[in-house]
């Protein structure tokens, strides 16, 4: 049994870590931190977790919490993980971080896209990128894992095999993606209130969204070429889910059969990726660690179309974090994770 601490467990991704760990046969959560919720019972903040966590309460972070811990999951906002990671490293065998703080090898990317200097650039090259279907070989035994972002996972799963197979050009890629409101986190914000979200659909982060360089990195690294992506995110009136509609310029004259076969071959042995002609939907992935993909070639406009859907809190965050942790520890990657979604 692995003794687990979740740092930043009071947010949505932290709550999802708690939910998934409760059903994991090898993980025992012994500490859950939440600075703003310290002293609050987990069950009072998230009644859905009452049966699993009883009287367990959130505690403030303290180094002493790490004594005897085998694995730390970090669900902190961007900018916070880098402040405590140097102190945690070496005190626990493995850290799996959901923030963007350690996803990039180049320390200059962070200030350019996140607006502030990185405070622990010396650790960047020590983290491996957590997207198992594309970068599995880096995970076994890894000490430090930076889990891929939700938009990034959806887009990269749809596009990276096509680039690797030489079916699309690395430049001129367009990604239009929509996310549920949970992607903005638990704390209330003016743009995520019910009256703002309900019956509304809007774009945001035009030309500057921080997932842009990460999408380019993931697609390009797997595809073997420097990718160029125009990314436009949208907020959709739903709780969970991401749908990414991706466009690429074809190389040669691929057909729909070619691009579908490429994706099917790439993910033939992957338990959490479904490839078929059905149009992916966020509802089909709800609560699961699965991604659903399809692709088409529009000969009329000379465009390759690839679409992906997943649950932003599971395969897009905490579920993928647990999948990475399983790989790190030598467990089957599907341990404690469901490939089946909830419906209705």
| pTM (two decimals) | 0.97
Q: Are 57 and 42 in contact (CB under 8 A)?
A: yes
DSSP alpha helix (H) spans, the chain: 12-22, 42-45, 50-53, 81-88, 109-114, 132-135, 150-164, 194-197, 212-223, 256-266, 319-329
> Is 246 an active-site residue?
no
Q: What is the pLDDT of residue 264?
A: 98
Which residues of the chain form CATH 3.40.50.720? 2-126
Looking at domain 151-311, which of 3.30.70.420, 3.30.360.10, 3.30.460.20, 3.90.650.10 is its CATH number? 3.30.360.10
Return the exposure string of 98-127: e unless at least 16 CB atoms fall within 10 Å of the residue's CB, then b.
Answer: bbbbbbbeeeebbeebbeeebebbebbeeb
Q: Are 288 and 338 in contact (CB under 8 A)?
A: yes
Catalytic residue among 21, 150, 262, 324: 150
Ordered per-residue pLDDT tens for the chain, 344 residues: 999 999 999 999 999 999 999 999 999 999 999 999 999 999 999 999 999 999 999 999 998 999 999 999 999 998 999 999 999 999 999 999 999 999 998 889 999 999 999 999 999 999 999 999 999 999 999 999 999 999 999 999 999 999 999 999 999 999 999 999 999 888 878 888 888 889 999 999 999 999 999 999 999 999 999 999 999 999 999 999 999 999 999 999 999 999 999 999 999 999 999 999 999 999 999 999 999 999 999 999 999 999 999 999 999 999 999 999 999 999 999 999 999 999 99
CA dihedral 279, 282, 284, 290 (to 10 degrees): 100
**Integer Cα distance of 210 and 149 in angstroms:** 10
Distances (CA, A) of 174 to 116, 117, 227, 247: 27, 28, 11, 5
The domain made up of 2-126 is a member of CATH 3.40.50.1480: no
Q: What is the pLDDT of residue 242?
A: 98
Which residues of the chain form CATH 3.30.360.10? 151-311
Greatest alpha-carbon span in the chain? 63
Question: Hey, is 5 helix, strand or coil?
Answer: strand
Structure tokens at 326: 């399983």
Q: Are 22 and 9 in contact (CB under 8 A)?
A: no
């Amino acid at each position: 049994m692995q003794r687990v601490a979740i740092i930043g467990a009071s947010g949505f991704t932290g709550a999802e870590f708690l939910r998934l760990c409760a059903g994991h046969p090898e993980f025992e959560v012994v500490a859950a931190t939440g600075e703003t919720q310290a002293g609050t019972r987990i069950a009072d903040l998230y009644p859905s977790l009452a049966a699993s966590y009883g009287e367990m309460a959130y505690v403030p972070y303290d180094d002493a919490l790490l004594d005897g811990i085998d694995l730390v999951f970090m669900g902190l906002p961007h900018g916070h993980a880098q402040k405590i990671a140097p102190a945690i490293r070496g005190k626990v065998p493995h850290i799996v971080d959901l923030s963007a703080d350690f996803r990039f090898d180049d320390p200059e990317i962070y200030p350019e896209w996140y607006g502030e200097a990185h405070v622990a650039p010396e650790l960047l090259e020590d983290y491996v990128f957590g997207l198992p279907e594309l970068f599995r070989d880096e995970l076994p035994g890894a000490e430090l894992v930076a889990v891929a972002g939700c938009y990034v996972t959806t887009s990269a799963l749809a596009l990276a095999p096509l680039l690797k197979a030489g079916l699309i050009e690395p430049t001129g890629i367009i990604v239009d993606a929509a996310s549920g409101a949970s992607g903005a986190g638990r704390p209330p914000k003016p743009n995520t209130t019910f009256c703002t979200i309900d019956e509304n659909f809007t774009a945001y982060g035009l030309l500057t969204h921080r997932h842009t360089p990460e999408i380019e990195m993931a697609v390009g690294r797997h595809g073997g070429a420097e990718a160029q992506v125009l990314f436009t995110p949208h907020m959709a009136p739903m709780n969970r889910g991401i749908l990414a509609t991706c466009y690429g310029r074809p190389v040669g004259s691929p057909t729909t059969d070619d691009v579908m076969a490429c994706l099917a071959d790439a993910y033939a042995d992957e338990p959490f990726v479904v490839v078929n002609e059905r149009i992916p939907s966020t509802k089909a992935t709800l609560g699961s660690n699965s991604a659903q993909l399809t692709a088409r070639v529009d000969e009329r406009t000379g465009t390759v179309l690839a679409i992906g859907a997943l649950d932003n809190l599971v395969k897009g965050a905490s579920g993928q974090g647990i999948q990475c942790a399983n790989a790190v520890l030598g467990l089957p990657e599907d341990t404690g994770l469901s490939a089946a979604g909830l419906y209705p």
